[in-house]
Chains A and B, each alone.
Chain A
Amino acid sequence: MDERREARESGSGGWTRWAVAGPPTVFLLAFFLVPAFIVVAASFREPGEFGGLVPLAAGWRAAFSMEAYRFLSGDLVYAQIFASSFAVAFATTLICVVLAYPLAWLIARSPRRRRDLLVLLVILPFASNFLVRIYAWIMLLGPANLLYTPFAVIAGMVYVHLPFMVLPLYTNLEKHDPALLEAAQDLGANAWTRFWRVTFPLSLPGIYSGSALVFIPVLGMFAVPELLGGTGDILIGNLIKEQFLDNRDWPLGSALSIGLTIAVLACAGIAAAGARRGLQGTEAVS
């Protein structure tokens, strides 16, 4: 009986499904996949004299060159910038978890009527312009002599990304069954043990998705280090932006982007594998 209904649904669903899924598919193909291929292709070409790329008519080297990659691997400074970018992203994520957890927990524990207001307050900063808010940090950090330091970069990064950690954590914590904590207490667990044995493991899915939402954008962010950081605080994002807008070396910029993408995918892969192992059984709650 179920099979027949499924068959009918998928039969009639043939064109409905395409009507629904078609437009986004076309959009993603045209504006995501195609540009991605263009970036890959650009990374194997030579930079033009005044920016852009050398015309293909200039010979086979104009169509395929490993020059950008050779340049990248030839200078250790690029590897160092990658490393420091990952360090900043990691530190930002960690600080966001530590700051967001109690906040998300308090919101999830507050009376139902007040929760929506508190969530609104968390996302309220988005209502004003991003650059204006970063400039505000310049005003704050300047007098304290903290401007143009690694501290300023991380403070800015944490400030910008904190809501992306609070929201998934809150959504996770809000769904926890209070009976589980009562059961743990009933069976002899004190407050500390209840947190580490019940609340924390059950909130791991929230921590993972929040971390992905913070870590990946931080890696590519260039505005914060540019405005708050010093000359030594350059990150991959700044490097890529520089290649396209200042140095006009598109192939090098493209190669850096691809390096970043591969690094992010590798991180996501490792995190997903780790999460899958740590997540056994928690699907029931989240």
Chain B
Amino acid sequence: MALLEIREVTRRFGGLAAVDRVSLAIEAGEFFTLLGPSGCGKTTLLRMIAGFDEPDEGELFLDGKSLSGIAPEKRPVHTVFQSYALFPHMTVAGNIAFPLEMANRPREEIARRVRETLALVHLDEKGQAYPHELSGGQKQRVALARGLVNKPRLLLLDEPLGALDAKLREEMQVELINLQRDVGVTFVFVTHAQQEALALSHRIAVMNMGRVEQLDTPDRLYTAPSSRFVADFIGKINLIEVEVIDASHGHLGLRAAALGEFAAEPVPGVKAGERGALALRPELVRVTERLESVDLRNRFTGRVKELLYLGDVTLYKVQLDGGFVIEALLTNAAPGRARLFKAGDSVTVAWRHDAGVFLRG
């Protein structure tokens, strides 16, 4: 039995469905992420799990028991808020003790568990400090400690890293992974940052316009997106509009107006004449000097239009002779790479026929 089951849940605001017939199951011990752009319904869904909002249709089950009509304070579900929402008039220790006091734990147990939890988030020295004396990262850790101290069945995290700067955010990501593994509490994490979701999660539900577009592991989402939305939302990708011209020879023959003909892996059920898009990750696109021999059939010539040097990698935008601009990501330190290309260089662009994913529609 799943720890949390969301069954056909719909929530409307003024006739508009913020969450539209969402069904999913979250297993105990999982680091589960709801990922999507703002307004996709992920926060509404989170608030329904916490109890601050009730679904118009459908039901939520925690440990097999319905959550409908159960007030937030009665749910064994705690939230780490985006703004942290630390109590400014209480010390760090007072903040962390709060949920234990609400649960009427004995005084000695509260003291011991506050101490343990402070150690868990590396704030042993800060128990007597007030929230306004802490840095952003420290506040974040207090909020986590307060959410975890009473061992909730579920910890909900609402964009908790949004307010941190890039370097701190990366550190906190590593800490979050370790923390979740150590305490074994199930995390439901809400974010619009796809890299964060990929880095942290066991499974990700990508949401768009109130619906779950795809629910999968991070690597499956990245390498095998099931829709244009998911392909485009997660990472960088080339989306090439194509028409299927041949589906009979163990591969897909595709034709793109601004490019020409090329091949891709077959997709069950796809027939000649269908339209769709080929989703191709930039790092799977090879760029070589025009005179070099390339043993790939998907091969086009063009000129480097723009490039973005990023230190470890360079992102090239190559205008192909057919007019299409393709993005290619090349590692700068690859063996045998004599030099970087410059804008205006004539190059050959190629990719393996199984590099891209054909998406229907």
| Residue B338 CB within 8 A of the other chain | no
Cross-chain contact A188 with B103 (CB below 8 angstroms):
yes
**Chain A residue at smallest Cβ distance from B79:** A186
Cβ of A188: which chain B residues have Cβ within 8 Å of it? 73, 99, 102-103, 150
Cross-chain contact B132 with A284 (CB below 8 angstroms):
yes
Cβ of B102: which chain A residues have Cβ within 8 Å of it? 187-189, 193
Cβ of B51: which chain A residues have Cβ within 8 Å of it? 186
Cross-chain contact A185 with B87 (CB below 8 angstroms):
no
Q: Among A187, A201, A284, which residue has the most Cβ atoms of chain B within 10 A? A: A187
Cross-chain contact A281 with B130 (CB below 8 angstroms):
yes
For window 170-193 of chain A, which residues contact chain B by CB distance below 8 Å?
177, 179-180, 182-190, 193
Given known A-B contacts A281-B91, A282-B88, A283-B132, A186 and B72 have beta carbons under 8 A apart:
yes
Interface of A is mostly: helix
Cβ of A187: which chain B residues have Cβ within 8 Å of it? 73, 78, 98-99, 102, 146-147, 150
Cross-chain contact A179 with B85 (CB below 8 angstroms):
yes
Cross-chain contact A281 with B78 (CB below 8 angstroms):
no
Contact of B50 among A186, A190, A282, A283 (CB under 8 A): A186
Cross-chain contact A284 with B98 (CB below 8 angstroms):
no
Cross-chain contact B89 with A202 (CB below 8 angstroms):
yes
> CA separation between A201 and B99, bound complex, in Å?
18
| Residue B282 CB within 8 A of the other chain | no
For window 56-90 of chain B, which residues contact chain A by CB distance below 8 Å?
71-73, 77-79, 81, 83, 85-90
Closest Cβ of chain B to A185, distance in Å, is 5
Cβ of A201: which chain B residues have Cβ within 8 Å of it? 89
Cβ of A66: which chain B residues have Cβ within 8 Å of it? none
Given known A-B contacts A187-B98, A188-B102, A282-B89, A182 and B132 have beta carbons under 8 A apart:
no
Cross-chain contact B73 with A281 (CB below 8 angstroms):
no
Size of the B side of the interface (Cβ < 8 Å), in residues, is 28
Cross-chain contact A284 with B88 (CB below 8 angstroms):
yes
> CA separation between A183 and B72, bound complex, in Å?
10
Q: How many A-B residue pairs have CB under 8 A?
A: 74
For window 157-210 of chain A, which residues contact chain B by CB distance below 8 Å?
177, 179-180, 182-190, 193, 197-198, 201-202
Cross-chain contact A281 with B81 (CB below 8 angstroms):
no
| Residue B266 CB within 8 A of the other chain | no
Cross-chain contact A179 with B83 (CB below 8 angstroms):
yes
> CA separation between A283 and B83, bound complex, in Å?
18
Contact of A281 among B52, B72, B90, B147 (CB under 8 A): B90
Closest Cβ of chain B to A164, distance in Å, is 24
Q: Among B79, B87, B89, B90, which residue has the most Cβ atoms of chain A within 10 A? A: B89
Cβ of A284: which chain B residues have Cβ within 8 Å of it? 88, 130-132
Given known A-B contacts A179-B81, A281-B132, A284-B131, A185 and B89 have beta carbons under 8 A apart:
no
> CA separation between A61 and B253, bound complex, in Å?
120
Closest Cβ of chain B to A67, distance in Å, is 52
> CA separation between A202 and B131, bound complex, in Å?
14
Query: Can you give 13 contacting A-B residue pairs, CB < 8 Å?
Result: A182-B81, A182-B85, A184-B87, A185-B52, A186-B73, A187-B102, A188-B150, A193-B102, A197-B87, A280-B130, A281-B88, A281-B89, A283-B132
Interface, chain A (partner B; CB < 8 A): 177, 179-180, 182-190, 193, 197-198, 201-202, 280-285
Interface, chain B (partner A; CB < 8 A): 50-52, 71-73, 77-79, 81, 83, 85-91, 98-99, 102-103, 130-132, 146-147, 150
The 8 closest A-B pairs by CB, nearest first: A188-B102, A183-B85, A281-B130, A284-B132, A187-B99, A179-B85, A284-B88, A186-B79
